[in-house]
Amino acid sequence: MSLKKISRRSFIKQSTFVGASVALLPSKMSAVKDSSLKLRLGVIGTGLRGQWMTHLCMLRGDVDIRAICDIDHEMINTTLNIIKKSGNKPPDIYKKNEHDFLNLVNRNDIDAVYIATPWEWHHEMAVAAMKQGKHVGVECPAALTVNDLWDLVNVSEKENKHCMLMENVCYRRDVMAVLNMVREGVFGELLHCQGGYQHDLREVKFNDGKQPYGGGLEFNDKGYSESKWRTQHSINRNGDLYPTHGIGPIHTMLDINRGNRFVHMTSTASQSRGLNKHIIDQGGHNHRNAGTKFKLGDVVTSVIKCINGQTIVLSHDTSSPRPYSLNFRVQGTEGLWMVDNNSIYIQGLSKEEHRWESDEDYLKQYDHPLWKKFEKSAAGSGHGGMDFFILNAFVEPLKRGLKPPLDVYDAASMSVISPLSEKSIKLGSAPVKFPDFTRGKWKKNKPIFGLNTDY
């Protein structure tokens, strides 16, 4: 169907069928749902994220949490209360020391492990779990260095265990509708995409973990509150520290690792001002953290080149006052979509030439079949419903013995943006090459994300 040759009225009439057609595509991963199957799970990390995902697991009925692990006893107790209130059997507890997770992953009654710990532990825990025969779901990033990401890939391949990045923005309702539009050719051939993590985190980075956000300016206190470990990355590192939210949807739209791949990137950082200014504005020049030196530039901009020709701009902006935005833009030879003003322009379809229109009608007509099917189940699940979908995408395939729609190669290619951005900045914004974690398999791999109507 040539979009240049159809009218706007025809588009609205036909797009209901077009948007639903993705659900009819054949998929080797499809299987009859068996509600009697259960995934036996171990949870490592029971902070706020771990507690929330535990809560969602308890709502499903097909997840049996056998064990939990954390060194924070208060967080352990809160998680136990969540499980108790759900009416499920209490799990075994591992809380002796930082390496007690090794005893959890060594159990023979666990199929998979979910990891929601500080970033620097993700690689070690994921590798240990896979070596003990467990599949892994790990919060972003999957690892912090190129070598550690290669290690994840190598161990996953050797042990034949899946490692899925629990990155939730791929399942956001609007971007899944746009994914439908991309696959149906509404934008023509894709040329350029944008994304980013633009989120004022000053109140997160200066919180002692005991008060609501905005309740303090401390990050050196004892304990494992998010402010302690997350802020330390802003002190020690300069790069795109959190690329996976911005790159996730772009990754699926451009078929990265499945007919396309990232080739090289450059990164540039602005000066670092926002975090010091926040301390002084709130606590004065004599505050004990007023003299802290932060390496992280307030705005980090990265440009990625794909082997099929497309370009991508990613931004990381967490130290300045600003509204939240993931800065999505999808541009092709027939038009483009931008998230910040909920706008779209399609050549031959938009009401007026050279003028934006609302994306509302398009997003409704191309609403993804997964959202149509699970809208009620996803309601209230967190991140606008995305947390339901990412957990479902982890649980459903694994309990059936199938492959998750986001694999270890996706985890590696999204997470590696962070260390590569640091390297580029150190080299004066010089281009750096992406590793091919698939070892050439990207040439024959076919897209799988969003093509199964169950996950």
Integer Cα distance of 415 and 241 in angstroms: 9
Q: Is the pLDDT of residue 333 over 90?
A: yes
Tens of pLDDT, residues 300-328: 999 999 999 999 999 999 999 999 999 99
- Going by DSSP bridges, is the β-strand pair 190-198/311-317 parallel, antiparallel, or unpaired? parallel
Instruction: Please report the pLDDT score of residue 26 as a whole number.
Output: 30
H or E, element range at 190: strand 190-198
pLDDT for 78 equals: 96
What SS3 string covers 191-240? Answer: EEEEEEEECCCHHHHCCCCCCCCCCCCCCCCCCCCHHHHHHHHHHHCCCC
Q: How many CB atoms lie within 10 A of CB 231?
A: 25
Q: What pLDDT was estimated at residue 278?
A: 93
Label residue 215 by pLDDT band (50, 70, 90). Answer: very low
Residue type for position 170: C
**Residues with Cβ within 8 Å of residue 361, at least 6 apart in sequence:** 12
Confidence (pLDDT) at 205: 86
- Judge contact between 259 and 307, C-beta under 8 A: no
Taken in order of first residue, the domains within the chain and their CATH numbers are 172-368+407-443 (3.30.360.10)
If phi > 0 it is left, if psi is from -120 to 50 it is alpha, else beta; for residue 73 that is alpha
- pLDDT of 5 > 60? The answer is no
Quick one: average pLDDT of 86-98? 96
Taking residues 148-171, what's their average pLDDT? 96
Check pLDDT > 70 for residue 18.
no
Q: Name, in order, each residue with C-beta under 8 angstroms of 317's C-beta and a sequence gap of 6 or more.
A: 196, 197, 198, 199, 298, 299, 300
Q: What is the spatial order of strands in the sheet that 135-138 belongs to?
A: 92-94, 63-69, 39-44, 112-115, 135-138, 163-165
Question: Would you state the structure tokens that stand for residue 272, as one six-digit string?
Answer: 């670092």
**Residue 25 above 60 pLDDT?**
no
pLDDT band for position 225 (cuts 50, 70, 90): low
pTM of the entire predicted model: 0.89
Instruction: Classify 264 in phi/psi space as left (phi over 0), alpha (psi -120 to 50) or beta.
Output: beta
For 41-69, what is the mean pLDDT?
96
**How far is Cα 434 from Cα 436, in angstroms, rounded to an integer?**
6
Walk across the sheet containing 329-332 and list its strands: 357-358, 343-346, 335-338, 329-332, 190-198, 311-317, 300-306, 262-269, 432-433
Query: Is a pLDDT exceeding 50 seen at residue 20?
Result: no
The rounded radius of gyration (Å) of the Cα atoms in the chain is: 22
d(CA 387, CA 384): 8
- Contact between 129 and 152 under an 8 Å Cβ cutoff? The reply is no
Cβ atoms < 10 Å from Cβ of 307: 16
What pLDDT score was predicted for residue 193? 98
Q: Which residues contact 332 (CB under 8 A, 6 or more apart)?
A: 182, 187, 188, 189, 190, 191
Determine how many CB atoms are found less than 10 A away from the CB of residue 164: 25
Tokens of 326: 């993931």
**Which of 56, 321, 335, 39 is closest to 184 using CA atoms?**
335
Predicted local distance difference test score (pLDDT) of residue 230: 83
The stretch 31-46 carries a mean pLDDT of 77
Please report which confidence band the pLDDT of residue 261 belongs to, taking 50, 70 and 90 as the band edges. very high
Please tell me the distance from the alpha carbon of residue 66 to that of residue 342, in angstroms, as a whole number: 43
Number of alpha carbons in the 13 Å side-chain half-sphere of residue 130: 24
- SS3 label, residue 153: helix
How many Cα neighbours within 13 Å face the side chain of 164?
26
Coil, strand or helix: which one is 303?
A: strand
